[in-house]
């Protein structure tokens, strides 16, 4: 049997549904999802394994005009995701108005030399007759290899999409062991799940200001002991995260612990700290420290 494999990058505006799609295709949570834009900060690889193929899916931070150090690093992450890929997939929210951000995305994908698929996402939210004019509009703007209406949330249309990707992928090796579903280290998954829960538990202001750093991760113990710090930029945000009588941080801790346990398949003891670090998003050193690629390098040096 011919075995196909390769790298498929998923790009698109914030909130288009990139992380949701990667999770649905991988069949487990590898990327955090949020109704608030710009949640994904790093490139994340989710691995889709079939008997006849292995697709390494690259989830990327949303394409947007960056205005601070963190934003610029996010856009670098998105650009680096295009290096050495086999296929590019631009995902758009078909239920939202076509706007300047979509035009910017189209400009952006012109940098890519591999075939580009267009995924019209969130079709569960729109009526069919709206789809054809949208497809027409995009066809005129770019020469897509193929166009698929999908729902990343329900999985509708994704079976055909994956088959089409596999057809276009070259014959190739297993890049990862067939049972592996992500390239992320467990401690990064843990920090992302904590961040997701902190975003879920708070509103407005706080989400973008949240960063999570794992201080220690003792995996040889039962339960696995994890100590993590949630960074915010202001005292007011810290108060919101702590909540009345500590109820918010307790909720974050409980939610996060449950999901980390299910991802790791072990019991977890989670300790959370909250610290204020004014303007960390403007601080290159801290932004770098929070980047898991660099965290891995640091671990390797230890």
- Cis geometry, peptide bond prior to residue 133 (ω within 30 degrees of 0): no
DSSP characters for the chain? ---EEEEEEEEESTTSSHHHHHHHHHTS--S---SSS----S-EEEEEE-SSEEEEEEE-PPP----SHHHHHHHHHHHHTTTT-SEEEEEEETTS---HHHHHHHHHHTT--S-EEEEEE-GGGS-GGGHHHHHHHHHHH---SEEEE--TTT-TTHHHHHHHHHHHSPB---SS-TT--BSS-HHHHHHHHHHHHHHHHS-TTHHHH-EEEEEEEETTSSSEEEEEEEEESSHHHHHHHH-GGGHHHHHHHHHHHHHHHHHHTS-EEEEEEEEE-TTGGG-HHHHHHT-HHHHHHHHHH-
33 binding ligand GDP? (CB under 6 A): yes
- Which residue, 194 or 249, is less far from ligand GDP as judged by CB? 194
Q: Which stretch binds ligand GDP (CB under 6 A): 31-39, 163-171, 176-184, 210-218?
A: 31-39
152 binding ligand GDP? (CB under 6 A): yes
Residues between 125 and 144 with contacts to ligand GDP, criterion CB under 6 A: 125
Which residues partner with 226 through β-bridges?
A: 217, 270
Shortest CB 96 distance to ligand GDP, Å:
10
38 binding Mg ion? (CB under 5 A): no
Alpha-carbon gap, residue 42 to 292, rounded angstroms: 8
- Which residue, 37 or 172, is less far from ligand GDP as judged by CB? 37
Q: Which stretch binds ligand GDP (CB under 6 A): 49-57, 119-127, 215-223, 268-276?
A: 119-127
- Residues in CB range of 238: below 8 A, 6 or more apart: 232, 274, 275, 276
Task: Write each residue from 57 to 96 as x if it is in contact with ligand GDP (CB under 6 A), else as -, in one continuous string.
Answer: -----x----------------------------------
Q: Which stretch binds Mg ion (CB under 5 A): 17-25, 72-80, 230-238, 283-291?
A: 17-25
Shortest CB 39 distance to Mg ion, Å:
5
202 binding ligand GDP? (CB under 6 A): no
Task: Out of 7, 8, 11, 19, point to the residue binding ligand GDP (CB under 6 A).
Answer: 19
Q: Which does residue 15 touch among ligand GDP, Mg ion, none (CB within 5 to 8 A, set by kind)?
A: ligand GDP
- Which residue, 123 or 226, is less far from ligand GDP as judged by CB? 123
Shortest CB 298 distance to ligand GDP, Å:
26
Task: Out of 124, 186, 225, 289, point to the residue binding ligand GDP (CB under 6 A).
Answer: 124
14 binding ligand GDP? (CB under 6 A): yes
Shortest CB 175 distance to Mg ion, Å:
22
Shortest CB 11 distance to Mg ion, Å:
11
Q: Which stretch binds ligand GDP (CB under 6 A): 16-24, 180-188, 249-257, 293-301?
A: 16-24
Alpha-carbon gap, residue 198 to 207, rounded angstroms: 7
Select from 127, 27, 139 the least CA-distant residue to 90: 139
Interface positions with ligand GDP (CB under 6 A): 12, 14-20, 33-35, 39-40, 62, 121-122, 124-125, 151-153
């Amino acid at each position: 049997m011919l075995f196909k494999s390769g790298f498929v990058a998923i790009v698109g505006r914030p909130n288009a549904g990139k992380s949701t799609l990667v999770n649905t295709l991988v069949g487990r949570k590898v990327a955090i999802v949020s109704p608030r834009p710009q949640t994904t900060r790093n490139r994340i690889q989710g691995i889709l394994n079939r008997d006849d193929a292995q697709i390494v899916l690259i989830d990327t931070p949303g394409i947007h005009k960056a205005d601070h150090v963190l934003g610029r690093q996010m856009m670098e992450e998105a650009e680096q995701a295009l290096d050495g890929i086999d296929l590019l997939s631009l995902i758009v929210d078909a239920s939202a108005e076509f706007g300047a951000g979509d035009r910017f995305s189209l400009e952006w994908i012109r940098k890519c030399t591999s075939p580009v698929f267009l995924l019209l996402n969130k079709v569960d939210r729109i009526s069919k007759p709206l789809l054809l004019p949208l497809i027409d509009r995009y066809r005129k703007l770019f020469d897509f290899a193929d166009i698929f209406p999908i729902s990343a949330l329900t999985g509708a249309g994704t079976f055909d999409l994956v088959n089409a990707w596999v057809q276009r992928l070259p014959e190739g090796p297993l890049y990862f062991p067939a049972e592996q579903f992500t390239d992320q280290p467990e401690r990064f998954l843990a920090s992302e799940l904590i961040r997701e829960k902190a975003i879920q538990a708070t509103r407005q202001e706080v989400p973008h200001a949240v960063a999570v750093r794992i201080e220690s991760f003792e995996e040889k113990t039962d339960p696995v002991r994890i100590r993590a710090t949630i960074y915010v930029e202001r005292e007011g945000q810290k108060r919101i995260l702590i909540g009345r009588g500590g109820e918010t941080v307790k909720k974050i801790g409980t939610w996060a612990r449950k999901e980390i346990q299910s991802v790791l398949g072990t019991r977890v003891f989670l300790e959370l700290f909250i610290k204020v670090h004014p303007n960390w998003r403007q601080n290159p050193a801290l932004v770098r420290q929070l980047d898991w690629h660099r965290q891995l390098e640091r671990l390797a040096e230890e």
